[in-house]
Amino acid sequence: MPGIALVRKPGPRIAEGIVTHIEREPVDPERALRQHDAYVAALAAAGWRVTYVPEADELPDGPFVEDAVVVSRRLAVLTRPGAPERRPEVESVAAAVRELGLKAVRIAAPGTLDGGDVLQVGRTVYVGRSARTSDDGIAQLTGLLPERWIVPVDMTGVLHLKSAVTALPDGTLIGDPRHVDLPGLLVPPEEAGAHVVLLGGDHVLMAASAPQTAAMLEKRGFIVTKVDISEFERVEGCVTCLSVLVAD
């Protein structure tokens, strides 16, 4: 499974990133950069070839590259973020996916779509209806991915769908039923436990802020790598936000 991991280093203005459902807290940009380096090292250790999108110090939310593109096999769907101030992030990501040889298509105005609202599980693609992703954006994504089964999902109290639910390597959905109503949810002991990145095989990446969930998943037979992303969590980020994985 390992292939290419797209990432972007955080800039000095990361503390100015948009927060919606949490109180704003101070963020240490230097510590955020060290944490990002450790996150990237974990991806590389799992076999992913890291590609950096050009730095964008003027864009506080730039390191959350997941929101700028949705990759399905060799197709890159360039998003139109729901927050207008985030739309300039897309062009540098577009250049990066084209350099990888992916076919690029776009979500067009007036539709909006954030990649953080898109959860791919096998042939199924769950898409959250949120303040950032509109019904028009979901309809456009449906047309661009005719071979996939698109499932719109209502949610409450979180920024993105993947703030509430992700999927384990065996396809089990892990998430918080307070924020999303999906059948068969495995409920984690901690809020951050709802966020996993699939590294290949039975290997997952999780935030260090969810140690009980990590232990629960290890008992279920998964290999868990934990990384400290506390500075990103202060601006409503999670482990899924910080990379786009393009499988070989």
- CATH number of the domain residue 133 falls in: 3.75.10.10
* Both structure tokens of 103: 């076919």
Pairing mode of beta strands 75-78, 69-72:
antiparallel
- The CA–CA distances, whole Å, from 166 to 91, 143, 191 equal 27, 23, 12
Cα–Cα distance for residue pair 43/2, rounded to 1 Å: 9
Active site residue 238: no
Task: Tell me the pLDDT of the chain (248 aa) as tens digits.
Answer: 689 999 999 999 999 988 887 777 899 999 999 999 999 999 999 999 999 999 999 999 999 999 999 999 999 999 999 999 999 999 999 999 999 999 999 999 999 999 999 999 999 999 999 999 999 999 999 999 999 999 999 999 999 999 999 999 999 999 999 999 999 999 999 999 999 999 999 999 999 999 999 999 999 999 999 999 999 999 989 999 999 999 98
Choice among 36, 179, 203, 241 that is catalytic: 241
Q: Which range marks the domain in which residue 132 is found? A: 4-246
* 36, 160, 195, 203: the active-site residue: 160
Smallest CA-to-CA distance from 150 within 116, 124, 121, 183 is with: 124
> How many domains does the chain fold into?
1
Whether 160 is a known active-site residue: answer yes
- 230-242 pLDDT, tens digit per residue, is 999 999 899 999 9
